[in-house]
Amino acid sequence: MIIDNRNRRQMPQLNTASLPDLIFTVLFFFMVVTHMRTVALKVEFRVPQGTELTRLTKKTAVSYVYIGRPATTSGHNVKASADANNGFQMQINDRIATASDIAGFMASERKRMSEEDRSNQTVSVKADRKTPMGMITDVKMALRKARVQRISYSAEQRK
């Protein structure tokens, strides 16, 4: 009887000792590189419903304008402009604004954007479904004067 004593090569086992270090390094990288854009809403709104909706693709080039009734949490922060607009207010970033404030806001947004994002700048108007059309028109005209070429109106999918 002949015994075969050749060295049989075996596949070495994968060393997973450094795997947690790698995962935490990647996690830390994404935490540093990614920035979350948070806006404290000072207005309450219920967006209208629609059927032919599309999603915004490049969110870095999108600026938001919120229109709605003053939030109950801000209580004392109601401006006289809300009375002129049937109780509706406009919010840009974290402050209550008027249509005349839009031009300055758009100029500061353009400065913060990259050259590619400037050419794709979009303003998303998130307005309550009962917002007076005159207020929407005022915002639209102010955006036109600020040379904004793309305006998006937010809605939710009709069920």
Q: Which residue ranges make up each domain of the chain?
A: 43-157
* CA 122/CA 157 separation, integer angstroms: 21
pLDDT tops 90 at residue 62: no
- pTM for the full predicted model: 0.67
Instruction: For residue range 10-41, list pLDDT tens digits in order.
Output: 777 888 888 899 999 999 998 888 876 677 78
Long-range contacts formed by 116-122: CB under 8 A, 24+ apart: 117/58, 117/60, 117/61, 118/61, 120/58, 120/61, 120/150, 121/61, 121/63, 121/148, 121/149, 121/150, 122/56, 122/61, 122/62, 122/63, 122/150, 122/151, 122/152
Return the ∠ at Cα 97 (arms to 66 and 142), rounded to 5°.
80
Instruction: For residue range 117-127, list pLDDT tens digits in order.
Output: 888 889 999 99
pLDDT tops 80 at residue 110: yes
* CA 67/CA 97 separation, integer angstroms: 10
Please indicate whether residue 76 or residue 98 has the higher confidence score (pLDDT): 98
- Chain-centre distance for alpha carbon 122: 11
Instruction: For residue range 69-85, list pLDDT tens digits in order.
Output: 998 754 444 444 555 56
